[in-house]
Amino acid sequence: MNITRENIDELNAVVKVDIAKEDYAGKVDKILKDYRKNANIPGFRKGHVPMGMVKKQYGQAVLVDEVNKLLQDSLNKYLTEEKLDVLGNPLPKEQENFDWDRENYSFEFELGLAPEFNVDLDLKDPVRKYNIVADEKMVNDQVESIQKQYGKLKTKDVVEEGDTVAGTFKNEEEGIENDTTIELAAIKGKRNLGKFVGAKVGDTLTLKTKNLFEDEHALVNHLSIDQEKANDLDVEVEFTISEINERELADLDQELFDKLFGKDKVTSVTELKDKIKEDAAKQFQQQSDQQLMNDITEKLIENTNFELPKDFLQKWIQTVGEKPLTDEEAAEEYEKSEKGLRYQLIEGKVVNDNDLSVDFNDLKAFASEKIKEQMAQFGQMDPSEKELDDIAARILSNQDEVKRLSEQLMNEKLLKFYKEKMKFDEKEVTYEEFVKAIYK
């Protein structure tokens, strides 16, 4: 067997694999002899079928199968030994009138090669890094929300601002009939709110769905409709009041603190607010980190220039799906996936150049931390090492979970590396300012 490579350019190559009869003949003969031993052909005793008949019936199928196995194994071995960084998979070049009756064969494969490039983390235009803080208004709102959640409901006859109103939405033409409970603080605009204030149990209010709630997604739950319908819904609905309640705020006392955080973990309103800030900071950190990673990704793609074997990749895309794609479909699919491929190559370069690997011990420790976090949500604050090890072992026996956790851990390692090596344009913002900046 002989394998040679012709480099067309820096991104494309053709590999030629020459297979001679001696490369496959022994294996084919052995398989055909085994077939002969076990063949059941009318008119012949088992094991006494003429070899010529066996070859005529099975010979070419066995030959094709063995040559293809040999071809695939030798090509994979060659790519590994030559340390060729290929994109996609090798594509066999078509050969017209291929003749399996010959003894020696030649096959050619097109290769798309990964480009050579460097990743510069010292960007002229630094990435914006948001440091989100919980402002006084957010903390006070959260305190009030806790008081409402743990407060008592007091039934009333007449609606006032701040009340909770239960009732039924109806619109026969749209097929809407749904029982729901509305916090009046969620109603948008003084005009809508004014229709509720002063109303009594049994009253029916006529409301317009458009701009009824502060949260535009609230219609989905309150009317029990899907999001697509809610997006364009602009009709009148009737709301018949069945119950009116005023929520008395819970006292900010030790009983409430113990219920929220455990006995004597928080002992004052000041400590409660500090705890809210601490918890908010953790939540905000996750969101700001995710946004930072997204922005770093975009910047690195924008600032790391290299060519890709576009024609090869489009040709490869045509072959990898359940059904072949047209040239136009493959070009469209390539455009969709090009940015992701570029960052995949950039990420691989950063990982390899800086030894950011994930080993089993890293993965096990990471899985254990995730398990502890989940158990804490259900009040199990101090699981034993054996308990954690047993759960982690079950999770890591699932290859899909191993892949998912490996990707999460690598993402964390990459972000930590970027934070250490890159310069950022840091800005302290409230959560509201962060949302406005990201979704402007």
Q: Concatenated DSSP letters for 118-150?
A: ------SSPEEEEEEE--HHHHHHHHHHHHHHT
Q: Write the burial class of residue 35 (CB in 10 Å: 0-12 exposed, 13-18 middle, 19+ buried).
A: middle
Assess whether pLDDT exceeds 90 at residue 193: yes
Contact 252, 269 (CB under 8 A): yes
How high is the pLDDT of residue 131? Answer: 94
- State whether residue 9 is helix, strand or coil: coil
Contact 90, 394 (CB under 8 A): no
Per-residue pLDDT reduced to its tens digit, 379-409: 777 788 898 899 999 999 999 999 999 999 9
CATH code for the domain defined by 2-113? 3.30.70.1050
How high is the pLDDT of residue 439? Answer: 81
How high is the pLDDT of residue 328? Answer: 94
Output phi, psi for 378, to 5 deg.
-105, 20
Across 2-17, average pLDDT = 96
Residues 376-414 as b or e (16 or more Cβ within 10 Å = b)? eeeeeeeeeeeebeebbeebeeeeeebeebeeebbeebb
For strands 424-430 and 127-133, give the pairing: parallel
Give the containing element (helix H, strand E) for 169: strand 164-171
How high is the pLDDT of residue 231? Answer: 85
Per-residue pLDDT reduced to its tens digit, 40-53: 777 777 777 888 88
Across 409-438, average pLDDT = 94
C-alpha to C-alpha distance for 96 and 252, rounded to whole angstroms: 84
pLDDT band of residue 373 (cuts 50, 70, 90) is confident
Average pLDDT of the residues of the chain: 92
pLDDT band of residue 96 (cuts 50, 70, 90) is confident
C-alpha to C-alpha distance for 391 and 125, rounded to whole angstroms: 45
Across 164-183, average pLDDT = 95
How high is the pLDDT of residue 53? Answer: 85
For strands 127-133 and 204-208, give the pairing: unpaired
pLDDT band of residue 295 (cuts 50, 70, 90) is very high
Query: DSSP secondary structure string, 48-109?
Result: -S-HHHHHHHHHHHHHHHHHHHHHHHHHHHHHHHTT--EEEEEEEPP-TT--TTSS-EEEEE
Contact 197, 203 (CB under 8 A): no
How high is the pLDDT of residue 87? Answer: 95
CATH architecture for segment(s) 152-248: Roll (3.10)
C-alpha to C-alpha distance for 15 and 231, rounded to whole angstroms: 55
Per-residue pLDDT reduced to its tens digit, 224-252: 998 888 888 999 999 999 999 998 899 99
How high is the pLDDT of residue 316? Answer: 95
Residues 204-240 as b or e (16 or more Cβ within 10 Å = b)? ebebebeebbeeeebbbebbebeeeebeebeeebbbe
How high is the pLDDT of residue 43? Answer: 75
Instruction: Give the number of other Cβ atoms within 10 Å of residue 298's Cβ.
Output: 13
Percent of the chain with pLDDT over 70: 100
How high is the pLDDT of residue 57? Answer: 85
Contact 247, 164 (CB under 8 A): yes
Output phi, psi for 384, to 5 deg.
-75, 160
Domain ranges in the chain are 2-113, 152-248, 268-438
Residues 8-31 as b or e (16 or more Cβ within 10 Å = b)? eeebebbbebebeeebbeebbeeb
CATH class of 268-438: mainly alpha
Per-residue pLDDT reduced to its tens digit, 277-290: 988 988 899 999 99
Across 336-361, average pLDDT = 94
How high is the pLDDT of residue 311? Answer: 95
Closest C-alpha to 51, from 25, 24, 32: 32
C-alpha to C-alpha distance for 89 and 316, rounded to whole angstroms: 7
